[in-house]
Structure 1
Amino acid sequence: MELLAYLTEGNVANFLLLLLRFAGIIAFFPFFENQMINNSIKGALIFWLTILFVPLLDVVPPANWTILRFIVAGLSEIMLGFLASMALQIVFGMISFGGELISFAMGLTIANAYDPITGAQKPIVGQLLTLLALLIALGLDYHHLFFYFVAQSIQEIPLGGFLFTQNYIEYIVKSFASLFVVGLTMSFPIIALILLSDIIFGMIMKAHPQFNLLAIGFPVKIAVAFAVLVVIVPAIMLHFKREFLSAFDALTLLFQAGF
């Protein structure tokens, strides 16, 4: 009887909107949108988290809700998860873009491998750096930051009332522009070294035309690039850590500023 008394129109609307908020966030956030995670597991996780976070909600007056307004509110909740995930996806995109540049410089663009996370074909170096970045994110208590972000969004953004501001649009545009700059910065040591090796091999071929570039030059370039990659990976991950934490801070500030 207590359960039936709790199932009022306002409580049901709150529960469904919170369910859609979690669905939008888990569907687009890095790691949670992993295709290796079964959809039934994602659905169970969304339902369980919704039950846990329901006590943080306020009751919505039933008289204010119509079917059309509820549909619009549900779409705004899904949009919240999509737009919030963009800032984090851009940070992971920096790592992926830098890895693609490194693979191109090493001549490994043909050596693509299936990425089980996104379900697409990616260069081997880019996929390796992305997996390392994901492990670093989990080491930074990414799951705890995820729960903190949801709790803050519930307190600052009313259910069904999300509207992204111009500040958020400017932040996304600047972050997307920095994606290419940061990716190039991460891969620059290897690109510069391979360019230098190309100049040296060109001078050798000019002095000794019998020098076989395909048999000697490419393996040497790949070996040197891997050696440099091992040295600069800690610096790349440190830069990723800084960008990742700043993205979470920016999300909290931008969403709170809109309300």
Structure 2
Amino acid sequence: MELISYITQNNIAGFLLLLLRFSGLFAFFPFFENQLVPVSVRGALSFFCTFMFFPLLPSMNYDLSLVEFIIAGVMEIMLGFVSGSILNFVFSAITFGGDLMSFSMGLTMASAYDPVSGAQKPIIAQTIAMLALVLVLTLDFHHGLFLLVSESFVHLPLGTFALSNRIIEYCVSAFVTMITVGFSMAFPIVAILLLADIIFGMIMKTNPQFNLLAIGFPIKIAIGLFVITLVIPSVIYHFQNDLISAFEFIKTIFWDK
């Protein structure tokens, strides 16, 4: 009888809105939105988290009409999409940098299936992206997500999210920064391999018997791999700072600061 009395229209509406909030996060956040996590697992995880976090909801009146409830649900999905896009800009920057590295080394054809995105990616870009994903787990990113949601119930009640000029401006700035940071990550490799191409061209001019494909191509790959081992700590360091900065901005969205 106590359970039946607890199932009211207000509690059901709050439960569904909380389910949509978790569904938006698991659908668009990095690590959770990749192909390694099946849709059925994400759905079950969303329902489980909703069930566990529902007692933390403050007492509120969710007496909404059908149209108002649909709009509130769309805003919850939009919250996950916007937050996930902000973090994906950081991951896209490191992927873009890895693609430039692969292109400079001539390894664009050396692609393999990427289980994270479900597409073919150059091996260099895929390796750096997986290293970034391991760093994310090391920083307890997944635990921070749950803390973020639990603290948002008071500062950002369910169904009250709305896009603002501040969020749009940050997304535009993050998109521009993604291209700049990605090119900055790949610049040392691109510059050194460009210098290597100039040297190879001078050698071929003075020595036409020089076989560029048989000798120059493996040398370029070896030089590129050597430089990557030198710059990868700096790449991961800047990725960590950018990720923390993006997560801090997402906190201002969830906590309405």
TM-score by length of 2: 0.96
Q: Any idea what SS the aligned residue of 1:30 has?
A: coil
What do residues 44-101 of structure 1 show as CA deviations (whole Å, max 9, x unaligned)? 2111111121122134435x31111111111111111000101110000011000000
CA distance in 2, matches of 1:74, 1:125: 40
Q: 2:179 — aligned with what?
A: 180
Q: CA offset at residue 209 of structure 1?
A: 1.1
Q: CA offset at residue 194 of structure 1?
A: 0.1
Report the number of matched residues. Answer: 257
Q: CA offset at residue 256 of structure 1?
A: 3.6
The reply on whether 1:126 has 2:125 as its aligned counterpart is yes
Q: CA offset at residue 257 of structure 1?
A: 4.1
CA distance in 1, matches of 2:216, 2:247: 44
Deviates more, 1:36-45 or 1:138-147: 36-45
Q: Percent identity?
A: 51
Whether the 8 Å CA contact 1:13–1:60 is kept in 2: the answer is no
Runs of 4+ in 1 over 6 A off after TM superposition: none
2:217 maps to a residue whose letter is: F
The reply on whether 1:30 has 2:40 as its aligned counterpart is no
Q: 1:21 — aligned with what?
A: 21
Q: CA offset at residue 188 of structure 1?
A: 0.7
What do residues 15-64 of structure 1 show as CA deviations (whole Å, max 9, x unaligned)? 000001000100010000121222222122111111121122134435x3
Q: 1:6 — aligned with what?
A: 6
The reply on whether 1:234 has 2:233 as its aligned counterpart is yes
Q: CA offset at residue 5 of structure 1?
A: 0.8
Q: 1:86 — aligned with what?
A: 85
Q: Any idea what SS the aligned residue of 2:71 has?
A: helix
The reply on whether 1:251 has 2:250 as its aligned counterpart is yes
CA distance in 1, matches of 2:111, 2:151: 40
CA distance in 2, matches of 1:206, 1:115: 41
TM-score by length of 1: 0.96
Q: CA offset at residue 231 of structure 1?
A: 1.4
Q: 2:49 — aligned with what?
A: 49
Q: CA offset at residue 155 of structure 1?
A: 2.2
CA distance in 1, matches of 2:118, 2:101: 21
1:77 maps to a residue whose letter is: E
Q: CA offset at residue 122 of structure 1?
A: 1.1
Q: Any idea what SS the aligned residue of 1:160 has?
A: coil
Q: Any idea what SS the aligned residue of 2:121 has?
A: strand
1:48 maps to a residue whose letter is: F
Q: CA offset at residue 153 of structure 1?
A: 2.6
Segments of structure 1 that go 5 or more residues without pairing to the other structure are none
Whether the 8 Å CA contact 1:106–1:222 is kept in 2: the answer is yes
CA distance in 1, matches of 2:180, 2:29: 23
Q: CA offset at residue 112 of structure 1?
A: 1.6
Q: What is the alpha-carbon root mean square deviation over aligned residues?
A: 1.2
CA distance in 2, matches of 1:170, 1:162: 17
